[in-house]
Amino acid sequence: MTSSQSAVSYSDQQLSKSYQQMSREAQEMKRRRRRRFQSQVTVDEAVVSYYSRSCRQLPFILLFTNLLAVAILITVNESVRSRLMSNVEQEADNSKRNSEESDVVLKNQQMVRVQQMATVEWIQQKRKDKDLADTKITKRCCLNKLTRHRFNAKDQSLCLKRNQSME
């Protein structure tokens, strides 16, 4: 067995031990809940049986029953409060997560829009540059044409003058 295999088996053993410990703790918590529930049931049964056996101690039984009812109401109230608080916390976490996700989506959309605008501006600039170059070329061609036309006209007038002077 190599050192890496022994390290893996050691970590597997540790994971197994921690899993077993967590299982034991979960079972113990279940046992405690059962005991608590059973003790509540037995107290209720004891109150009922005691009340049915002895009506002489009715004030004590009523007091005890009232105290038990108050304790049950307090337990139920605490349970409801804890559930409500956990629901509120969960909703807050969900809304925060949704808010963060929507912020990310919004930022992505904004980045896409900026990229699209940059692309549109780049295309428009290239079109302007091309139009400007076309305009310059057209002007230069017209200028060249006018220049050629002038020289041709001058050449023709010179030729005519020469022809006239030679005659």
17-42 confidence digits (pLDDT tens): 777 888 888 888 888 877 766 655 55
From CA 26, how far away is CA 40, in angstroms rounded?
A: 21
Considering only residues 86 and 41, tell me which one the structure prediction assigns the higher pLDDT.
Answer: 86
Q: How far, in Å, CA of 98 to CA of 93, rounded?
A: 8
Q: Judge whether 61 and 50 are in contact, CB under 8 Å.
A: yes
pLDDT surpasses 70 at 106? yes
Any idea what DSSP says for residue 57? T
Reading the block at residue 70, the tokens are 């108050």
Q: What angle do CA 16, 18, 22 make, to 5 degrees?
A: 115
Q: Is pLDDT above 60 for 68?
A: yes
Mean pLDDT on 158-167: 71
Is a pLDDT exceeding 80 seen at residue 69?
no
Per-residue pLDDT at 8 exceeds 60: no
Predicted local distance difference test score (pLDDT) of residue 105: 81
CA 27 to chain centre: 37
pLDDT band, residue 76 (cuts 50/70/90): confident
Confidence (pLDDT) at 60: 57
Q: Is 162 helix (H, G, I), strand (E, B) or coil?
A: helix
pLDDT for 114 equals 87
This prediction's pTM: 0.32
Residue 57's φ and ψ, nearest 5 degrees, are -100, 35
Angstrom distance (rounded) from CA 97 to CA 104: 11
**Per-residue pLDDT tens digits for 113-150:** 888 898 889 989 989 988 888 888 888 877 777 777 77
